Amino acid sequence: MYPAKFDYYRANSVDEAVALLQEHERAKLIAGGHSLLPSMKLRLAQPAALVDLNFIADLRGICRGDDGETTIGAMTTYAAVTDDAAIATTFGALHDAASNIGDIQVRNRGTIGGNLAHNDPGGDLPAVALALDATLHVAGRNGKRRVGAAEFLVGLFEVALAPDEVVTSVSFPAPVVGSGSAYAKFENPASGYAICGIAAYVEVSDGAIRAARVAVNGALDHAQRLAAVEAALSGVGCGDEAAIKAAASKAADGIDEWDFMSDIHADADYRAHLMRVLTAKAVRNACDRATG
């Protein structure tokens, strides 16, 4: 199918992008376009204008602060994230997710900011952002602000952005000593989108988990933390397979059946099953990295 008619604008700076969003009603930002363009072709999204961010050099790159925080420009591609050796060793969940998104063409065009700002339920990075306690940097006509991932990811294709705001970068705090993270997913074999994905971050002391953040995407309408799993993991030994599996069995606890995604690829029961299986896998991998 063809999308509805729209106007196209190329922004050369963040300020210009913000101005274009203010000037054109129902304008939409485009980065890699891998979620937005299919939605437009299906007429699920019909923006009156697209503002292209691909020519803003300041939105690309990876930098590290003196405090160990890593900041990634919003237009940095999945491939660039995957190729960064420090991310691979420090933020395992982010590397896992970025290196397994789509195919090589997608990874060389898709962007970290676009993935988070579009908040597709099958997107991989929202769960990772929650598990790694990421902060998004946003610019708009009222200036710049920082938004935590939990506040930013509101609902199905919905984020805490004003109509004239642009995500400029994403920051990940330095992991504490003795921590590890991992991401595991069951993907749609055709598109690569997550039917269910789990991101896990654990902090380990004396061989036992003392803190954990676990988040799901794909199974629900947007990425969410799994509080029951996080509580059950407290004090669990990293080598205690039975205890990890027992904690993972709580992945669907407190979630109403009607909150699950259900389609031709997987119904609600199967997605709940995947949540439990993938939670155990992600937590085990995160523990291995924390203790390895």
Cβ-contact 105, 212 below 8 angstroms:
no
- What number is the average pLDDT over the span 209-238? 97
Q: Is the pLDDT of residue 227 over 90?
A: yes
Q: Could you report the per-residue pLDDT of 232-279, keeping only the tens digit for each?
A: 999 999 999 999 999 999 999 999 989 999 999 999 999 999 999 999
CATH 3.30.450.20 fits 60-172, yes or no: no
What are the extents of the domains in the chain?
Answer: 7-52, 60-172, 179-291
pLDDT value for 191: 86
pLDDT value for 35: 83
pLDDT value for 147: 98
128 band by pLDDT with thresholds 50, 70 and 90: very high
Pairs from 62-68 (Cβ < 8 Å, separation ≥ 24): 62/87, 67/174, 68/173, 68/174
Q: Classify domain 179-291 at the CATH class level.
A: alpha beta
Q: Could you report the per-residue pLDDT of 25-79, keeping only the tens digit for each?
A: 999 999 999 888 988 999 988 999 999 999 999 999 999 998 889 999 999 999 9
210 band by pLDDT with thresholds 50, 70 and 90: very high
CA distance 183 to 92: 8
pLDDT value for 39: 87
pLDDT value for 257: 86
- Bridge partners of 213, per DSSP, are 201
Span 7-52 CATH architecture: 2-Layer Sandwich (3.30)
- What number is the average pLDDT over the span 103-129? 95
Q: What mean pLDDT, rounded, does the chain reach?
A: 96
pLDDT value for 230: 98
